[in-house]
Amino acid sequence: MPLDLSFSLWVFYLFWIGQRVFFSLIGWTTARSLQTQQRVGAWIAIGILALWTTRHHIVRGLRGMFSTKFDDALYRMAVVGLILEMAFVIGFWLLAGLSPWVVLTYFGIYLVVCIAITRMRAELGPPTHGLYRAHPY
């Protein structure tokens, strides 16, 4: 594990424990839900950061996909398949009665969290992608 990441984990772990102690001292009993929201916000921030740092590569790949010099048919099929799959899923939920903004917001956040999990697992290994007790209920 990189030294800066190890340091960050320890500092924020101690900060998180300190928050629980502080909230218990002042009598705020909803600290656990606040920390769950912080955890989900951190995953979303990691996903947005991953997208931001790779934006030039993504744009280059999309431009290359539509050029005539692009020879990788498998890459084109994967992108077209992803677009068709997302169109099917979004269409399904729209036909099920959800509002378009709810569907797009949910799957947008879901995509960002999936990108964050993928990045964390690729950089740090298998046991680092658990979203324990970070559910919407």
Domain ranges in the chain? 1-31, 39-137
Predicted model pTM: 0.67
Lowest mean pLDDT among 29-33, 49-53, 129-133: 129-133
Residue 88 above 90 pLDDT? yes
Interatomic CA distance for residues 57 and 74, integer angstroms: 18
Lowest mean pLDDT among 82-91, 108-117, 126-135: 126-135
- Percent of the chain residues topping a pLDDT of 70: 77
Residue 129 above 70 pLDDT? no
**CA dist list (Å): 120 to 16, 56, 63, 115, 131:** 20, 20, 27, 9, 12
